[in-house]
Amino acid sequence: MTTYRQPGVVLTDRHFSVPLDHDVPDGETIELYAREVVASDRVDDALPWLVYLEGGPGCGARRFVGGQAWLGRALRDYRVLLLDQRGTGRSTPANRQTLTLRGGPREQADYLARFRADAIVRDCEFIRPQLTGGAPWAVLGQSFGGFCATHYLSTAPEGLNTVLVTGGLPSLDAHADDVYRAAYPRIERKVAAHYARYPQDVERARRIAGYLAERDGVTLNGGYRLTVEAFQSLGILLGSGEGSHQLHYLLENAFVRTPQGAALSDAFQEQAQAALSYATRPLYAVLHEAIYAQGGRQRPTNWAAQRVRAEFPQFDAVKTLDSDAPLLFTGETVHPWAFDCDPALRPLRETAELLAQRTDWTPLYAPERLAANEVPVAAAIYHDDMYVDTAHSLDTARAIRGLRTWVTDEYEHDGVRASGQRVIGRLLALVRDEL
């Protein structure tokens, strides 16, 4: 283990070897990385543990400097473990560069089928005794991390003494189709709110989309193929607190004048590729719809976001450009064309297709166990969250015995980070019956 310091905190790098398949404990192993964080004035205290499960899927734990955002509040009470979930961050990586070690697309898909919430929770249970001596610990789950926490409550509640969920209570029974049927109207509302704030962006977005449509897409300097649909997916920014402002500043410098006429500026190209590329989180794209796949349905996800989008013709950019209507951006949706546009995803196109057609997923949630829950749970539900449907979250909140909710429109999906210590502080107060 390596220990080092940042302002106000002491960090320790931890590495764990866990089974690739927990049902075959003596089989192949992979490595997990986690960063232990403790307040510098409490290094020798016997603090309880809190494990942080990042959103995603496919995102490593956030890299904080000192006690930023919610972490400072957590460190008053806990020793925190920032876990890089399997396949992410410094854990054994799973990306276009490494997956060829598994074999072809079929072998890669079978491998990645072990990277959902069920495996992540079993990883947590595997390493927990090594850190706590067998005592239960607290979990903070942000977004997809909340999906993992709900699975944790369904399958191993004995490992938990507290659960905090921020923007991540999943539907217990919705198919991916249901998730996106609920999502597209929310996305449309977020776009309307953006244009109400920045009406000048209506014409800017239409101009960029028209430019791309005339050329059947443009290959950016970094190799990303920016089509009209890919441009629309910049709407994913609108789900965060500062996202509308970020999108506005991106659009305002889209073009420069060249000897050949107007062209997309280098600055726009760099920023757009940074926002759209999955190079740092390929599993987000490859496994995104699999997080909604429920065992026993024998029904594939089958590119649900793409299929359901056809039910909302107002998102059709071609029709929009033939009219005077504002161009609609899309949101947290992954489409098959992303695997043609993004150099980081192109080699994984067939693997992703096999996962999209898979039907043998294991169940993720156990409603009967959740109905008998005894673990203190509190959840922040962000009203009209673009990423997670509020109605689905409230249904699940009612299904988990004893869960306390805080429903607010003060924050978007990233409220636990954007609020500093406020969201986590309120959840801790709720779960401790201080409110």
CB 172 within 8 A of CB 146: no
Tokens standing for residue 114: 């072990």
Catalytic site residue 143?
Answer: yes
> What is the Cα–Cα distance from 391 to 170, expressed in whole angstroms?
10
Residue with tokens 């629309």: 232
CB 119 within 8 A of CB 127: no
Q: Is 9 helix (H, G, I), strand (E, B) or coil?
A: strand
CB 277 within 8 A of CB 229: no
Q: Tell which residue, 423, 428, 424, 386, has the closest CA to residue 408.
A: 423
Q: How many CB atoms lie within 10 A of CB 279?
A: 17
From 143, 154, 240, 393, the catalytic residue: 143
What secondary structure does DSSP assign to 141-198, as a single string?
Answer: EETHHHHHHHHHHHH-GGGEEEEEEES----SS--HHHHHHHHHHHHHHHHHHHHHH-
From 175, 288, 335, 413, the catalytic residue: 413
Name residues whose C-beta falls within 8 Å of residue 206's C-beta, 6 or more positions apart in sequence: 320, 321, 326, 327
From 23, 26, 45, 360, the catalytic residue: 360
CB 112 within 8 A of CB 283: yes
Nearest 5°: CA angle at 418, between 415 and 422? 70
Q: Tell which residue, 102, 98, 123, 117, has the closest CA to residue 31.
A: 123
CB 408 within 8 A of CB 380: yes
Please confirm whether the linkage preceding 57 is cis (ω < 30° from 0).
yes
> What is the Cα–Cα distance from 109 to 426, expressed in whole angstroms?
41
Catalytic site residue 171?
Answer: no
Q: Is 33 helix (H, G, I), strand (E, B) or coil?
A: strand
Q: Would you put residue 89 in left (φ > 0), alpha (ψ -120 to 50) or beta?
A: left
Catalytic site residue 194?
Answer: no
> What is the Cα–Cα distance from 113 to 107, expressed in whole angstroms?
10
> Rounded to 5 degrees, what are φ and ψ at 346?
-50, -45
| Residue numbers annotated as active site | 143, 360, 413
